[in-house]
Amino acid sequence: MEDALLQIRDLHTTFYTRDGLVRAVDGVSIEIAAGESVGIVGESGCGKSMTAMSLMGLLKKPGKVDGGTILFNGQDLTAMGPKERRKLMGNRISMIFQEPMTSLNPVTTVGRQVREALLLHNKEMSRTQARDRVIQVFQLVGIPDAAKRYHEYPHQLSGGLRQRVMIAMAMVCDPGLLIADEPTTALDVTIEAQILHLMKQLQEEKGTAVMMITHNLGVVAQFCTRLYVMYAGKVMESGTVREIFKNVCHPYTEGLMRSVPDMESKERLYNIRGMVPSMLHLPKGCRFCPRCQYSMAKCFEQEPGLYEPSPGHLVRCFLFEPEKGEESHEQK
């Protein structure tokens, strides 16, 4: 894809801990076109959030991006100085965090916080102009009586309203890319539906690309057009949501799909055996093989590459290796 807004190529993020190297993100490539919404799913600790943090330059101390490029509009973020990077952050790329309860400064009114974000990237704007613009955005994200809410402190707002404020803060500069790191995990389902609806609506109106990090496949099905499934720091399967939901290939994705509760079924809910491996002691060969119900001798020996069972649909699993895949299919 040449016209991609964001191109992450072979990104490696490593944490240099005392116990050894933790490759939290291990050769991840993700592409997002302008105006597209892309989902990234996986269990806790599979590197979804670390990908986002590397992208935003928010990695904490022992963590470092040590390989790969992140191209945004053709500019390489990893090669940029902190100053240039700050100009993009919040302005062209912005992020919504998981916890609306703690992501707002408790001693500043919400209006001032959003205004700060706006003034930061629009130096010539006057304070009253900025104020009016913030109130306008508050109305856009569905905050009732925006002018009065402008002067309220975060604790005076409900969780749903706070998440709307966070969205307002992220959208106030009309960014090209919005990273949403589990934006609805802390909210109840009715509010979740409202927030997703709002984000969808904003995305369509403003043409913002969205990178939706979640572990909720329902959210992905509803919101995204393309999907990346991550496991232990690697992309296991990627393709359009339609294709993946119709034709699940990777055993891990299959496990995730079967773990979604179903109202009709009377059976016990399926779960994937075992746990995410410790990132310090990754299994040799395929990372998923100890938990995989189809694993073969080969899986324990070498890492699978990315294979393409259908156009645009990539799978990291030997089951889909062309030709040679056929004979060893029946092996447990």
Partner 1 sequence: MASFEQAASLAARAAVKSVKNQFSPQERMAAIQRIEEEELQFLPEPDTMKTKLANMCRENKVAALSGVVLAVMTFAIIFAHKLTSYDPNAVNLMERLLPPSPAHWCGTDDLGRDIFTRILYGGRVSLLVGVIPTAISMVIGVLLGMISGYIRQLEAVIMRLADIVLAFPSIVLAMVVMYTLGATTTNIFIALSMIGWAKTARVVRSHTLSLREQEFVEAARAMGVKKGTIMFRHILPNCLPSLIVLFTLNIPDAILSEANLSFLGVGTQPPDSSWGLMVSQARTFAQSSPWMLIFPSLAILIMVLALNFLGDGLRDAMDPHGR
Q: Residue 78 in contact with residue 13, Cβ under 8 Å?
A: no
Tell me if 235 contacts partner 1 by CB under 8 A: no
| Binder of partner 1 out of 17, 102, 247, 278 (CB under 8 A) | 102
Of 74, 81, 106, 311, which lies in the binding site for partner 1, with binding defined by CB under 8 A? 106
Q: In terms of Cα–Cα distance, which of 25, 67, 8 is closest to 230? A: 25
Q: Which is nearer to partner 1, 92 or 298 (CB)?
A: 92
Considering only residues 7, 49, 51, 91, which one is a binding residue for partner 1 as defined by CB under 8 A? 91
Binding partner 1 (rule: CB under 8 A), the pick from 19, 74, 107, 190 is 107
Q: Verify binding: residue 122, partner 1, rule CB under 8 A.
A: no
Q: Phi/psi of residue 288, each to 5°?
A: -95, -10
The answer to whether 236 and 251 have CB atoms below 8 angstroms apart is no
Q: How many residues does this entry show for the chain?
A: 332
Q: Which is nearer to partner 1, 166 or 317 (CB)?
A: 166
For residue 136, the number of C-alpha atoms closer than 13 Å in the C-beta half-sphere is: 11
Interacting residue with partner 1 among 14, 37, 103, 208 (CB under 8 A): 103
Q: Least distance to partner 1 from the beta carbon of 144, Å?
A: 8
Give 94's strand partners.
Answer: 178
Instruction: Count CA atoms within 13 Å of residue 56 on its CB side.
Output: 23
Q: Minimal distance in Å, beta carbon 93 to partner 1? A: 9
144 binds partner 1 (CB under 8 A): yes
Residues that contact partner 1, how many (by CB under 8 A): 36
4 binds partner 1 (CB under 8 A): no
In whole angstroms, the minimum distance from the beta carbon of 173 to partner 1 comes to: 9
Between 138 and 231, CB nearer to partner 1: 138
Residue 265: φ, ψ to 5°: -65, 140
Q: Using the minimum distance from each CB to partner 1, give the nearer residue, 146 or 202.
A: 146
Confirm if 316 and 235 have CB atoms less than 8 A apart: yes
Pairing of strands 177-181, 313-315: unpaired
Is residue 104 close enough to count as binding partner 1 by CB under 8 A? yes
* Distance (Å) of CA 117 to CA 68, 111, 133, 180: 29, 10, 12, 17
Q: Is position 153 an interface residue for partner 1 (rule: CB under 8 A)? A: yes
Q: Report, in Å, the least distance between residue 91 CB and partner 1.
A: 6
Residues 51-70 vs partner 1: string with x where CB under 8 A? -----x-x--x---------
Looking at the Cβ atoms of 168 and 249, the one nearer to partner 1 is 168
Helix 127-140 × helix 159-171 angle, to 10°: 120
Stretch of residues binding partner 1 (CB under 8 A), selected from 42-50, 85-93, 129-137, 199-207: 85-93
Confirm or reject binding of residue 81 to partner 1 (CB under 8 A).
no
Q: How far apart are CA 4 and CA 14, in angstroms?
A: 26
| Least distance CB 145 / partner 1 (angstroms) | 5
| Coil vs helix vs strand at 220 | helix
> Would you count residue 89 as binding partner 1 (CB under 8 A)?
yes
DSSP 3-state of 245: helix
What sign results for the dihedral spanned by CA atoms 188, 194, 198, 200?
Answer: positive
Q: Is 49 exposed, middle or buried (0-12, 13-18, 19+ CB in 10 A)?
A: buried
List of residues contacting partner 1 (CB under 8 A): 56, 58, 61, 85-91, 94-95, 97, 99, 102-109, 116-117, 120-121, 144-145, 148-149, 151-153, 155, 166, 169
